[in-house]
Amino acid sequence: MKKIILSALAFVFATAAFAQEKIKEGTIIYTVEYQLPDAMKPYASFFPREATVYFKGDSAKSVQVSTRSTTSVITDINASFMRLLLEAGVKKVYVSFTPAQQEEGLMALPEYAYTAGTETKTIGGYKALKYDQKNKKTGVSSEAWFTKDVSVVQNSLTAQIDESLGLPLVFTAAQANGLTIKVTFKELKAGPVAAGTFSTPKDFQSIAIQDLTKIMTGG
């Protein structure tokens, strides 16, 4: 009887460990769709349709490539580090955000309430649970899907989402500028990322946030 109990416990712990597999290094690819305010609609073709996230330990780097620029955001959750790199034509610049600036940025974003449903489906090979995702400010609801089969460090795309819900596979994120994006998980590959992925190339110049805004808006 004792052996049976121990075997059962071992099975339970092994199953739990498998169900909450923590991947410490790898690459995630998301597709990105946009709901643009009228003023931005003429520029729809300029927006990137995919985001690639490299992660290792507490560090993550999200990269989005459009027809006109490449934007990367490097984060380190434990160090409260965040840096945005922009390459547009001959311009190669970056902005470092202090913890206070990061907090201010998050505060400017809409808050969401999540209500779990009962519907499940497989997304990218992972079992996902459907949630109702409601914008607390506008009252607008959309669907979101989370999995607890696997977990990875948060990145700039998922930073405002409660980790306890699991890994977000489909979700909506409204931005302070009126733009709303729908992010959909495409694939996750565990494995080494290239050396230097989370460092800033020497040919990038540090600028102030105000200057970055001017570049991005054409001001």
d(CA 85, CA 211): 13
d(CA 74, CA 198): 6
Are 34 and 48 within 8 A, CB to CB?
Answer: no
Angstrom distances, CA of residue 204 to CA of 19, 60, 182, 200, 207: 41, 19, 30, 7, 10
d(CA 59, CA 82): 10
Q: How many CB atoms lie within 10 A of CB 219?
A: 8
**In the 8-state DSSP scheme, what is residue 215?**
H
Per-residue tokens: 9: 């416990």
Topology adopted by domain 25-217: outer membrane lipoprotein receptor (LolB), chain A (2.50.20)
Q: In tens digits, what is the pLDDT along the chain, a chain of 219 residues? A: 444 433 433 333 333 444 568 999 999 999 999 988 888 888 888 899 999 999 999 999 999 999 889 999 999 988 999 999 999 989 999 999 999 999 998 888 888 999 999 999 999 999 999 999 999 988 999 999 999 999 999 999 998 898 899 999 999 988 767 788 999 999 999 999 999 999 999 999 999 988 887 776 665
pLDDT at 38: 86
